[in-house]
Chains A and B, each alone.
Chain A
Amino acid sequence: MKLFPIRGGIHPDYRKELSSEKSIVTLPMPVALYIPLQQHIGAPAEVLVNEGDLVKKGQMIARSGGAVSAPQHAPTSGRIQAISAIAAPHPSGLAQTTIILEPDGKDEWANLPEPIADPLNADPQLIRERVAQSGIVGMGGAAFPSAVKLDLGMRYKLEILLLNGAECEPYLTCDDRVMREHADEVIDGARIMAHALGTPRVVIAIEDNKPQALAAMTQAASVFTGIEVVGVPVQYPMGSERHLVQAITGRETPAKKLTADIGVVVHNVATARAVHHAVRFGRPLVSRVVTVSGGAIREPNNIEAPIGARVADLVAFCGGFAVVPERLVNGGPMMGQPLPGLDVPVVKGMSGILALTAGEIDPQPASACIRCGSCVTICPCGLVPVEMAAFIRKDNFEVAAKLGVMDCVSCGSCSWVCPSHIPLVHYFNYAKGMINAQGREQRKNDQTRILSEAHTLRVEKAAADKAAALAAKKAQAAAAAAAKEAAAKEKEKDETPA
């Protein structure tokens, strides 16, 4: 298959060999599971259970909280110990409402929805509903509710379902292992999703540094028509949605548009596997494969963990720390977020837990920019990071926006390459936050202005009405008086003797 070049990019030290040869192992059930209500982009789920309730595995314990939301299910059978606020796996470490489940050790399934018979000929709506009901979100890290993305076929003319198996983040091997060990499930999920979307073609893109996954997927796909498995160059950020679409189709997604606008929908390979489970067996998303790796982990591994297991449980399963880690990361080292601690739970979008040593992250204080231009050369979005950063440093967000900071995909390549160790992508995230906040403020002001203008208009109209009414009354009174006077005069005239 002819591939198309993507701009820029970098070749970081991948270090996937730490965990790539470790088969997926299931985590022994922890003593407690912590299931946050917000594990996805969109509205948080709404609690359906009470403290003390007994639940079965796969039972819905919180329902979808809106159009863009996802329900949560019990990852095992047990008792609801509490519903309280605990620290979320977010850099802020802020607490959020979490269902705490005490497993009973039986791991008994609830009555699951019936498998959808012959899903490849079923009504697409049925599949979308099942995916929504099963709490499936994008498992590559973004955690966008998958059912919403499967709806795109209703509004766009789609040609390709692009399954993202690039896994371009260093260290991470969870998708690699899923593709190697569960290729049939991924392919089946992909076919079901393609049917739901109405796309005639499925392309599965895998970076060339995963030859076994490529072989396994090619083998599994070979019995079907309309599915192509493609090796793509090892070039970070190949797994970025827009860039992968460009590499495969040569089409460039216009700014402010979706890939669906150019006929392509991208889903992660692990998401496809979850869809397979939901449709074929009625099983909701209650666990995921997480890569636990990094120089500070004694035995890096790929772990199928129930949602809600604490990070500490996974780390302990890997033999704990060999050395004290300098940084704990949720996700890959390029785009992952720092973890506030070990007590936070595994969530649906968590692809990796990294415990990195100082040697691996190479922390150095930022020094002055020497305008080497490396960031310009490698930016996959064609931006000029050096220039944007200079304006953001002066809090000039207007110019930064003009220079395209909102087009930045936060891949972190510029920060990685910068010889002065300037945290460029951090500047851009900061600017995006500020620009969004300003936009919100602006909208709020506009709204206030519209309301206040409407109010003024109303008041003026009321005053005018009142004045008009008064004038009318006065005129009436005057007319009446005049009439009276005239009548009186008439009378006087009459009474006056001739």
Chain B
Amino acid sequence: MSLLSINQSGPFTHQVSSVQKTMFTVLLALMPATAFNLYLFGWPAILLFTITVGSCVVAEALCLALAGQPIKAALSDYSAALTGWLLAMSLPPWAPWWVGVLGAVFAIGLAKHTFGGIGQNMFNPAMVGRTVLLISFPVVMTAWVMPHPLFSAGAPGLFEAIGITIGGQMPDAVSAASALGHVKTELSRGIPVTQSMAQVPDLMDMMLGYRAGSLGETSAVLILAGGLFLMARRIISWHIPLSVMGGLFLIAATFHAVDPARFSSGTFHLVSGATFLGAFFIATDYVTSPVSKKGQLVFGVGCGVLIWLIRTFAGYPEGVAFAVLLMNALTPIIDQYTRPRAFGRNRKGEPLPLGKGKP
């Protein structure tokens, strides 16, 4: 195919859309939740966020240069910035700078460009970054802090923040457990969920986001607002978010009903950890999720169930990243089995029989 003929082929009208615009809209949708959490966790979070996003963009540029591809055009699609953004949102807010840099190398270098760059990766780059970090540096990656809103009493100033993020001097006094982590630890000490639940923030705080957690995941309400905005702009559809949350809620609620002392409630699973962030912004990653709506439902339910399984039975208190990565691996096969029925053909691809009005 010559370039000329492609240039001349129809249609001669196009929807106003571009990859750049799509990515930018996602960034825009992440803005409220991010702004709130940067405020909530203060200067160290702002530094880590900046370093992580910057590292991802630099890593992308380096990989493109190595591959001999045009750098400027590829960088302007914001995909590296989005990966960095999501990665930063999944990190402990006061983690040291090298966590962000290493995460960027794994996310962009390993997960994205080893596979051939944008559109070619099997696994969600941000989640690969986070997972590799979590497995390699479990202590640093689970060092949560209580909210320290900017300018509030006890919140670190810019210089202290540099000490925390660049110097790696994590003050001992501020550490806290995430709600999921707390429940899990207590359970392992023989304390039932019904009892440990008393120490986690109440539902309202969990929803609004005034709790310990990753840099961008705490505010379910603001993430939901961003997600709804993406749906209104038709960047994502309801299929993945609803099926992730529906799958997680149903299985959690069912087991909770059977044994409330052992299993947390469905609502708790929904509002804690990275459920909302995962459902609206991570599982919905175009490249690594199925292309058909039916496939997306299968994918979403799979994510939801896996999140619950990992949170409940595995060694880690949180399972969103693992669940999404596992389902990413299944995406090609889901795609293969959830193709739409072609016009005039049955599900097997044979022409419809004559004489029957409807398939």
Binding site for B on A (CB under 8 A): 7, 10, 12-13, 91, 170, 242-243, 249-257, 261-262, 327, 329, 333-338, 354, 356, 360-364, 366-373, 376-377, 379-384, 386-387, 402-404, 407, 412, 415-421, 423, 425-427, 429-430
Contact = CB atoms under 8 A, between A and B. Distances in A.
B359 interface: yes
Interface string B329-359: 0000001000111111100010111100111
B168 interface: no
Contact of A382 (B15, B18, B288, B343): B343
Interface in B300-353: 335, 339-345, 349, 351-353
A464 B312 CA distance: 83
A439 to B, nearest CB: 17
Interface in B17-49: 17-19, 21-22
B14 A373 contact: no
B353 A369 contact: no
Contacts, number: 183
Contacts of A360: 12-13
B14 A371 contact: no
Contacts of B22: 370, 372, 419
Given A368-B117, A369-B119, 16 more contacts: A13-B13, A257-B351, A329-B10, A356-B12, A360-B13, A367-B77, A370-B19, A376-B292, A381-B342, A382-B342, A383-B340, A416-B14, A419-B19, A423-B6, A425-B9, A426-B9
A424 to B, nearest CB: 10
A329 B12 contact: yes
A368 B289 CA distance: 16
B16 interface: yes
A262 B355 CA distance: 7
A263 to B, nearest CB: 10
B267 interface: no
Contacts of A376: 291-293, 340
B120 interface: yes
Nearest to A365: B73
A327 B8 CA distance: 8
B102 interface: no
A322 to B, nearest CB: 18
A434 to B, nearest CB: 10
A379 B340 contact: yes
Nearest to B339: A384
B21 A7 contact: no
Contact of A252 (B117, B119, B339, B358): B358
A175 to B, nearest CB: 19
Contacts of B290: 373
Contacts of B291: 371-373, 376, 384, 386-387
Contact of B119 (A7, A250, A371): A371
B68 interface: no
Interface residues of B, number: 51
Most buried by A among B120, B341, B343, B359: B343
Contact of B15 (A252, A255, A416): A416
Given A363-B7, A382-B342, A430-B1, A373 B292 contact: yes
Interface string B267-303: 0000000000000000000111111110010000000
Q: Is the interface of B mostly helix, strand, loop or mixed?
A: loop
B19 A364 contact: no
B343 A381 contact: yes
B286 A91 contact: no
Nearest to B18: A419
B152 interface: no
Contacts of A10: 15
B11 interface: yes
B5 A404 contact: no
A407 B10 contact: no
13 contacts: A255-B344, A333-B12, A338-B9, A362-B14, A370-B118, A373-B286, A382-B345, A384-B292, A419-B15, A419-B22, A420-B119, A425-B9, A425-B11
A272 B354 CA distance: 28
A426 B12 CA distance: 12
B4 to A, nearest CB: 11
B28 to A, nearest CB: 16
B18 A421 contact: yes
B344 A338 contact: no
Contacts of A427: 1
B12 A354 contact: yes
B340 A337 contact: no
Nearest to A367: B19
B6 A366 contact: yes
B342 A387 contact: no
Contacts of B77: 367
A379 B341 CA distance: 11
Contacts of A430: 1
Given A252-B358, A254-B351, A404-B349, A380 B343 contact: yes
The 8 closest A-B pairs by CB, nearest first: A373-B291, A426-B9, A255-B344, A412-B11, A255-B351, A254-B352, A333-B12, A382-B340
Contacts of B341: 382
